[in-house]
């Protein structure tokens, strides 16, 4: 028992230190980091228990989930939330070389509850507890053996049916993109067009229960290949129509067919430019 406890503690400490390093480096690289700015970290314990503390910037608007439940959006606000979110994801997925560099990282638990909204209406990626990094020097993926991680509602088909290639880092990147497509859907539903807006709902709210099982999600996502539906009004608004196209290409059943974070970022930037919106 002691050996297992020590091993678990070592793993937790390593994860904490890894996340701290990534947050600290990213804060130095970018004046507006794409995930909460790192402030401090600490480890406390009495021998029988241990607590790990990671202190980051506080964002009073809370998570994107909380924000969307209480806030409707115009086109500018929608694009700002979407663009800043995918910018953070793009930063996470990209390896940066040099003394101030960082490894490529896949999140593995992307959802609206793990994205925070800043005071200026921009988003940052949070909760890297399940993140996996790519060690480019050895072409290895630093990951625990269990493929079933994250939140069931946001799991891509290859995780639900256990066909994900655990040794291929790009598999985790594409899994993130599926989850991000669902987040785009959550954002777009709250954008007002023609005086109409849908109430906030979680993805697949009309197809599974509030706490779906793996089997529930596998039947909907893998077997029936269903995805969240679009409101008819989206066809009458060019920006919402393009958002619908984006999310459809993010949550494609075939991981190789999904858009990358960089591609989504560039498309959203172009959409903003067309709308004469500065992000």
Catalytic residue selected from 42, 66, 109, 237? 109
Query: Is residue 127 annotated as part of the catalytic site, yes or no?
Result: no
On the CB side of 71, how many CA atoms lie within 13 Å of its CA? 16
Instruction: Assess contact for 120 and 130: CB atoms under 8 A.
Output: no
263-271 contact pairs (CB < 8 A, 24+) = 264/86, 264/90, 264/177, 264/180, 265/83, 265/86, 265/87, 265/90, 267/242, 268/79, 268/82, 268/83, 268/86, 269/83, 271/79, 271/239, 271/242
Q: Where do we find the tokens 């129509």?
A: 241
- Pairwise CA distance, residues 68 & 238, whole Å: 21
- Comparing CA positions, the residue from 164, 169, 165 lying closest to residue 134 is 169
CA 167: distance to chain centroid?
21
How far, CA to CA in Å, does 178 sit from each of 73, 168, 269, 279? 23, 16, 20, 24
- Among all residues, which ones are annotated catalytic? 109
């Amino acid at each position: 028992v002691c050996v297992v406890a020590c091993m678990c503690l070592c793993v937790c400490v390593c994860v904490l230190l890894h996340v701290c390093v990534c947050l600290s480096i990213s804060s130095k690289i970018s004046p507006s980091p794409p995930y909460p700015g790192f402030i401090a970290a600490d480890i406390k314990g009495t021998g029988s228990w241990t607590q790990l503390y990671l202190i980051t910037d506080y964002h009073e608007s809370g998570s994107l989930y909380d924000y969307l439940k209480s806030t409707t959006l115009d086109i500018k606000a929608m694009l700002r939330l979407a663009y800043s979110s995918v910018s953070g994801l793009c930063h996470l997925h990209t390896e940066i070389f040099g003394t101030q560099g960082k490894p490529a990282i896949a999140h593995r638990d992307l959802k609206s509850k793990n994205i925070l909204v800043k005071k200026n209406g921009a988003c940052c990626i949070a909760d890297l507890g399940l993140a996996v990094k790519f060690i480019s020097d050895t072409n290895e993926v630093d990951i625990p053996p269990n493929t079933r991680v994250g939140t069931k509602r946001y799991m891509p088909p290859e995780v639900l049916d256990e066909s994900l290639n655990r040794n291929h880092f790009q598999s985790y990147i594409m899994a993130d993109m599926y989850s991000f497509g669902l987040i785009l859907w959550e954002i777009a539903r709250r954008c007002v067009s023609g005086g109409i807006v849908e109430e906030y709902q979680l993805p697949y709210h009309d197809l599974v229960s509030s706490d779906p099982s793996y089997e529930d999600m596998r039947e909907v996502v893998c077997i029936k290949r269903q995805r969240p539906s679009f409101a008819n009004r989206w066809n009458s608004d060019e920006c919402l129509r393009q958002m619908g196209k984006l999310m459809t290409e993010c949550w494609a059943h075939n991981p190789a067919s999904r858009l990358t974070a960089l591609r989504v970022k560039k498309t959203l930037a172009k959409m903003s430019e067309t709308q004469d919106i500065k992000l």
